A and B are shown apart, each in its own frame.
Chain A
Amino acid sequence: MRRQGLHLDQAPPLHLPLRFFLTAPLFAVAAGLVLLWRGSALLQTTWSPHTVALTHLLTLGFISMVMCGALYQIVPVLVGSAVPRLRLAAVVHGGLCVGVPALAGGLLSGWQWLLPVALAALGIAWAVFLGQLTLALARAPSVTVTVASIAVAASSLLLAVSLGLLFAWELVYGWLPPDRATLTAVHLYLALGGWVGTLITGVGYALIPMFYLSTPFPRGIAWLVLACQGLMLLTGPLLAWVAPSRWWHLLPLGLAALAVTVFTGMVWRMLHARRRRISDATLRFWQVGMLALPLALAALAVHVLGQLPRWSLVFGTLYLLGFAGAAINGMLYKIVPFLVWLHRFSRHAGSAEMPLLKDIIAPRHMQWQWRAYALMLVLATAAAGSGLDVLARLAGLALVVAFGALALLLFRAARMKLPPAARTPARDRAGETAPPGAR
Chain B
Amino acid sequence: MTEPTLDLSAAPEAERAQRLGAAFVALAPGGSLTFATPGDPRKLVRDFVAKQWGHFDWAPLRAGDGRHLSQLSKRKQQGPHSILDMFGDDHRRCDELFANAESAAQQGDAALAADLFARYELGLQRHFRMEEEGIFPELDKRMGFMGGGPTMVMREEHQQMRGMLRRMAGSVEQGNLEEFLGACETMLYLMEQHNMKEEQMLYAMADDAFSADRDELLRRLVLF
Query: Which positions in A face B, CB cutoff 8 Å?
Result: 1-4, 6-9, 77-78, 80, 141-142, 206, 210-211, 213, 275-278, 334, 338, 341-342, 346-352, 354, 356-359, 435-437
Contact = CB atoms under 8 A, between A and B. Distances in A.
B143 interface: yes
Interface residues of B, number: 44
Contact of A350 (B166, B188, B201): B166
B196 A210 contact: yes
B88 to A, nearest CB: 10
A9 B196 contact: no
B190 A3 contact: no
A9 B150 contact: yes
Interface in B183-217: 183, 185-186, 188-190, 192-193, 195-197, 200-202, 204-205, 208-209
A4 B197 contact: no
B163 A349 contact: yes
Interface string B161-173: 1111011001000
B149 A7 contact: yes
Given A277-B103, A347-B160, A350-B167, A9 B186 contact: no
A77 B167 contact: no
Nearest to A437: B153
B102 A276 contact: yes
A434 to B, nearest CB: 11
Contact of A275 (B96, B163, B166, B209): B96
A349 B164 contact: yes
Contacts of B209: 1
Contact of A357 (B106, B182, B196): B182
B190 A346 contact: yes
Contacts of B185: 278, 356-358
B33 interface: no
The majority secondary structure among interface residues of chain A is: loop
Contacts of B103: 276-277
B163 A348 contact: yes
Given A8-B197, A141-B201, A349-B164, 19 more contacts: A6-B205, A8-B150, A8-B201, A9-B149, A9-B150, A141-B204, A142-B204, A213-B98, A277-B102, A334-B189, A346-B160, A349-B160, A350-B167, A356-B185, A357-B185, A357-B186, A436-B152, A436-B153, A436-B156
Contacts of A211: 192
Q: Which of A1, A342, A350 has the most CB of B within 10 A?
A: A350
B117 to A, nearest CB: 15
Contacts of B156: 435-436
A358 B182 contact: yes
B95 interface: yes
Q: Which of A2, A341, A346, A347 has the most CB of B within 10 A?
A: A346
A338 B152 contact: no
A203 to B, nearest CB: 12
A8 B186 contact: no
B73 to A, nearest CB: 16
A278 B163 contact: no
A204 to B, nearest CB: 14
A4 B153 contact: no
A234 to B, nearest CB: 29
Contacts of A354: 167
Nearest to A357: B186
Given A1-B208, A3-B208, A356-B182, A349 B161 contact: yes
A341 B187 CA distance: 11
Q: Which of B161, B193, B195 has the most CB of A within 10 A?
A: B193
B204 A3 contact: yes
B99 A277 contact: yes
B143 A4 contact: yes
The 9 closest A-B pairs by CB, nearest first: A349-B163, A350-B163, A8-B150, A436-B156, A275-B99, A349-B160, A356-B182, A210-B192, A3-B205
B157 interface: yes
Interface in B18-34: none
Given A78-B200, A276-B188, A342-B190, A2 B99 contact: no
A356 B154 contact: no
A73 B181 CA distance: 27
Contacts of A341: 186, 189
Given A3-B208, A338-B189, A276 B99 contact: yes
B200 A80 contact: yes
28 contacts: A1-B208, A2-B208, A4-B205, A6-B150, A6-B201, A6-B205, A7-B149, A8-B153, A8-B202, A9-B153, A78-B200, A80-B201, A213-B96, A275-B95, A277-B102, A277-B103, A342-B190, A348-B163, A349-B159, A349-B161, A349-B163, A349-B167, A349-B190, A350-B162, A354-B167, A356-B185, A436-B156, A437-B153
Given A275-B95, A277-B106, A348-B163, A3 B153 contact: no
Interface in B108-166: 143, 149-150, 152-154, 156-157, 159-164, 166
A352 B170 contact: yes
A352 B157 CA distance: 18
